[in-house]
């Protein structure tokens, strides 16, 4: 007689193509196939960082040679107008939609992801992100801003959240010996997505543009198709560990680390602990400081160094001609690209380092070094040293990315691995909050300084001290993170009840014939599949960045 299982499916029935039970790894599987699967998804959704490449072409989609400006147009009229071009500031709201929806969807559906598994979540992410681009293309073709917001912003933002957290729990369980490195490899892809997507979008827009069309809607359609293929490949390549799996020959360190628990906290209890909110604040403040710099990187370099960027050290920003300002704008774009490269490399470097020095100590480095560099930034600017200034902010952005990549492992250390993906999803509301705090602090203080008559080269000095102060608060919160009390941990019987059903679940665990893995032909091919586009994006970025010097 058949019975109903907890999954809602009749026992004995074959699992569906997207079901979690369908993707449990078998003997002989290579765990190094999981990180490139995650990269397939993260490199696609990471294009969210590069969407500004579309703003200028779209700002003249009607006027073509120049924007068709309607100065008295309200934002509500702009949503439905077909005769006036959209303002760049209005399109910029896409970033708010992206990161607010990313945090919200990760928090709302994180628990579902743990039950459904990474394949189903990754495939739904592919549908939302790519489908959002298609709907956005229709909005551009019909010149309806509300449809662009709904498609790419809202639906695409939901895809961002699901895609971002889809590999976290899986990778942590596959690499208990290298948690930081594993999540760093995947989340590195989110930082690198714009390095591939932005130049690709430029190439496609140049290919599709005509005297009567700027070529953006066609670019959205093509990129939506490319992303759907890549993300689907990644989703279907996911495999999860058998219950209680551990790498062959690996055992937890004999000397217990009090900051790494062997127990598990239920999703419904994680947010009730002060540790959750301390780590939430740690991430929020680290990201707020970094995201504020990212948003103003280009104007900051232009206003601080001005004529020095083009061999005219005596000219301030306001003394430059329109042609000279155009020249330094191009150089500053290279600076923004270089910061993106530091952001990507930092995600892998710092997360991997955290496996050796610990997650809490890694965040100590972020805050102590960040406080020093932010406080020194005005001095470096006054010295007129482009090299020291760029290096300082490169390190700052590496720690910004490193904070994202290290926090999943930090959560796994404190709360256990059973619900780490869902807990991470809820923690990402800190990112949504930081996406508002960071730009507001930097932008409004800059405007206030300019209004007060402060020279352009010095308008960021006070901002840097404010950001350093924010990191001091983050440093204190990180110091307060302690191991959880026993009352928060689930009982072993409750954990076992949540594990996969069947004979394997009743065993004591082990390697199940799955070793530590290595670089066999299949794995090398999969890594090349994601590595070649990433290497191309890095090469393009470096070529543009060298113009700074």
Residue where the block lists tokens 């709360």: 415
Segment 7-23 mean pLDDT: 72
Pair 226, 264 in one domain: no
pLDDT in tens, 251-260: 777 656 778 8
pLDDT > 80? residue 280: yes
The pTM (predicted TM-score) of the whole model is: 0.85
- Whether 230 and 333 map to the same domain: the answer is no
Q: Do both 44 and 136 map to the same domain? A: yes
Say yes or no: 327 and 449 in one domain. Answer: yes
SS3 510: strand
Task: Please check whether residues 86 and 214 belong to one and the same domain.
Answer: yes
Average pLDDT over residues 506-515: 71
Per the document, the length of the chain is: 549
Q: Record the tokens describing residue 415, joined without a space.
A: 């709360």
> Are 179 and 305 part of one and the same domain?
no
- Do residue 246 and residue 264 come from a single domain? no
**238-245: average pLDDT:** 90
**Residue environment code for 154-181, b if the CB has 16+ CB neighbours within 10 A, otherwise e:** bbbbbbbbbbbbbbbbbbbbbbbebbbb
Number of domains in the chain: 2
C-alpha to C-alpha distance for 469 and 186, rounded to whole angstroms: 31
Asked, for residue 12, whether it belongs to a domain, the answer is no
d(CA 204, CA 21): 40
- Res. 508: pLDDT tops 70: no
Tokens 């352009």 label which residue? 456
Q: Percent of the chain having pLDDT more than 90? A: 48
Q: Cα separations (Å) of 477 from 276, 358, 363, 416?
A: 11, 16, 10, 20
Please give the residue range of the domain that contains residue 350: 257-490
pLDDT at residue 292, as a whole number? 74
Task: Decide if 172 contacts 417 (C-beta within 8 A).
Answer: yes
Residue 41 covered by a domain? yes
CB within 8 Å of 216: residues ≥ 6 apart = 54, 57, 58, 61, 140, 205
Decide if pLDDT at 506 tops 50. no
Q: What is the mean pLDDT of the chain?
A: 87
pLDDT value of position 509: 65
**Per-residue model confidence as pLDDT tens digits over 423-433:** 999 999 998 88
In a domain, 512, yes or no: no
- Residue 8: band (very low, low, confident or very high) from pLDDT cuts 50, 70, 90: very low
Does residue 16 lie in a domain region? no
- What is the structure's pLDDT at 185? 85
Q: Are residues 221 and 363 in the same domain?
A: no
| Domain shared by 38 and 161, yes or no | yes
Query: Is residue 410 scored above 90 in pLDDT?
Result: yes
Coil, strand or helix: which one is 489? strand
Confidence of residue 362 (pLDDT cuts 50, 70, 90): very high
The answer to whether residues 205 and 288 belong to one domain is: no
Q: What is the pLDDT of residue 165?
A: 92
Q: What is the pLDDT of residue 295?
A: 65
User: Of 241, 293, 239, 285, which Cα lies nearest the Cα of 460?
Assistant: 293
Q: How far apart are CA 367 and CA 356, in angstroms?
A: 18
Secondary structure class of 246 (helix, strand, coil): coil
What is the pLDDT at residue 63? 85
249 phi-psi bin (left φ>0, alpha ψ -120 to 50, beta other): left
Measure the CA–CA gap between 162 and 331, rounded to whole angstroms. 35
- Judge whether residue 7 has pLDDT over 80: no
Whether 2 has a pLDDT exceeding 50, the answer reads no
Per-residue confidence band for 298, with pLDDT thresholds at 50, 70 and 90: low
Lowest mean pLDDT among 121-125, 128-132, 267-271, 383-387: 383-387
Q: Is 543 part of a structural domain of the chain?
A: yes
Q: What pLDDT digit, counting tens, does each position of 322-351 carry?
A: 788 778 877 776 777 788 889 899 999 999
Does some domain include residue 135? Answer: yes
- Which range, of 174-178, 219-223, 424-428, 511-515, averages the lowest pLDDT? 511-515
C-alpha distances (whole Å) from 402 to each of 24, 38, 357, 396 are 30, 17, 14, 10
327 with 442, same domain?
yes
Tens of pLDDT, residues 520-544: 999 999 999 999 999 998 898 888 7
Residue 260 DSSP one-character state = S
Where does the pLDDT of residue 55 fall: very low under 50, low under 70, confident under 90, or very high at 90 and above? confident
What's the pLDDT tens digit per position in 172-214? 899 988 889 988 988 888 888 888 988 899 899 989 999 999 9
Q: What are phi and psi of 43, to 5 degrees?
A: -65, -25
For residues 333 and 179, what is the distance between their CA atoms, to the nearest angstrom? Answer: 34
CB within 8 A of 533, min separation 6: which ones?
43, 196
455, 299 in Cβ contact below 8 A?
no
Task: Give the residue from 471, 490, 509 where a domain finishes.
Answer: 490
**What pLDDT, in 10s, does the model give residues 459-495?**
888 888 999 999 999 999 999 999 999 999 998 888 8
Q: How confident is the model at residue 40 (pLDDT cuts 50, 70, 90)?
A: very high
CATH number at residue 244: 1.20.1250.20
Specify the pLDDT at position 12.
Answer: 54
Query: Rounded to 5 degrees, what angle do the CA atoms 393, 395, 397 make?
Result: 70
Could you tell me if 484 and 407 lie in one domain? Answer: yes
Backbone angles phi, psi at 520, to 5 degrees: -80, 180
* Segment 65-119, tens digit of pLDDT: 878 888 888 888 889 888 999 987 788 788 888 888 998 999 999 989 988 999 9
Quick one: the chain helix, strand, coil %, rounded to 5?
Answer: 75, 0, 25
CB atoms within 10 A of CB 117: 24
Question: Within 13 Å and on the Cβ side, how many CA atoms surround 124?
Answer: 21
Residue 309, pLDDT > 90, answer no
């Amino acid at each position: 007689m058949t019975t109903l299982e907890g999954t809602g499916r009749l026992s004995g029935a074959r699992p569906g193509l997207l079901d979690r039970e369908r993707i449990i790894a078998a003997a002989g599987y290579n765990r190094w196939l999981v990180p490139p699967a995650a990269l397939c998804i993260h490199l696609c959704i990471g294009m969210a960082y590069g969407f500004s490449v579309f703003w200028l072409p779209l700002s003249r989609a009607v006027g073509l040679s120049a924007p068709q400006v309607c100065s008295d147009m309200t934002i509500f009229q702009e949503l439905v107008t077909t005769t006036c071009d959209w303002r760049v500031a209005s399109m910029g709201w896409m970033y708010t939609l992206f990161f607010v929806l990313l945090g919200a969807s990760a928090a709302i559906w994180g628990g579902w992801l743990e039950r459904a598994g990474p394949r189903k979540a990754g495939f739904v992410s592919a549908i939302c992100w790519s489908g959002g681009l298609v709907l956005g293309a229709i909005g551009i073709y019909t010149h309806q801003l509300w449809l662009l917001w709904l498609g790419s912003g809202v639906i695409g933002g939901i895809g961002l959240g699901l895609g971002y957290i889809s590999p976290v729990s899986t990778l942590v369980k596959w690499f208990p010996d290298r948690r930081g490195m594993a999540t760093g490899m995947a989340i590195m892809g989110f930082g690198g997505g714009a390095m591939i997507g932005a130049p690709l979008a430029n190439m496609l827009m140049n290919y599709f543009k005509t005297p009567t069309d700027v070529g953006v809607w066609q670019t959205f359609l093509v990129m939506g198709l490319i992303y759907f293929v890549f993300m689907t490949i990644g989703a279907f390549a996911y495999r999860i560990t058998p219950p209680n799996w551990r790498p062959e020959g690996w055992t937890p360190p004999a000397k217990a680390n009090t900051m790494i628990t062997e127990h598990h906290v239920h999703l419904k209890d994680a947010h009730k602990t002060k540790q959750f909110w301390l780590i939430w604040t740690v991430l929020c403040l680290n990201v707020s400081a970094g995201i504020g710099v990212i948003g103003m990187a280009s104007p900051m370099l232009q206003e601080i160094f001005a004529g020095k960027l083009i061999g005219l050290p005596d000219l301030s920003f306001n003394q430059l001609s329109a042609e000279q300002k155009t020249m330094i704008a191009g150089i500053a774009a290279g600076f923004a690209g270089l910061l993106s490269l530091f952001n990507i490399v930092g995600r892998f470097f710092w997360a991997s380092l955290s496996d050796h020095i610990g997650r809490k100590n890694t965040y100590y480095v972020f805050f102590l070094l960040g406080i020093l560099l932010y406080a020194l930034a005005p001095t470096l600017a006054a010295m007129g040293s482009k090299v020291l200034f760029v290096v300082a902010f490169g390190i700052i952005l590496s720690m910004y990315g490193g904070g994202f990549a290290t926090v999943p492992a930090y959560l796994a250390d404190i709360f256990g691995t059973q619900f780490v993906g869902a807990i991470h999803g809820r923690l990402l509301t800190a990112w949504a909050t930081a996406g508002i705090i960071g730009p507001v602090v930097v932008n409004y203080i800059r405007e206030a300084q300019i209004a007060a008559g402060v020279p352009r080269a010095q308008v960021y000095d006070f901002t840097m001290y404010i950001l350093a102060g924010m990191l001091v608060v983050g440093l204190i919160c990180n110091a307060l993170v302690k191991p959880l009390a026993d009352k928060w941990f689930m009982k072993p019987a409750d954990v076992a009840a949540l594990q996969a059903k069947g004979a394997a679940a009743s065993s004591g665990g082990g390697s199940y014939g799955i070793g530590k893995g290595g670089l066999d032909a299949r794995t090398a091919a999969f890594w090349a599949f994601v590595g070649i586009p990433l290497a191309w994006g890095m090469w393009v970025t470096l070529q543009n960045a060298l113009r700074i010097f």
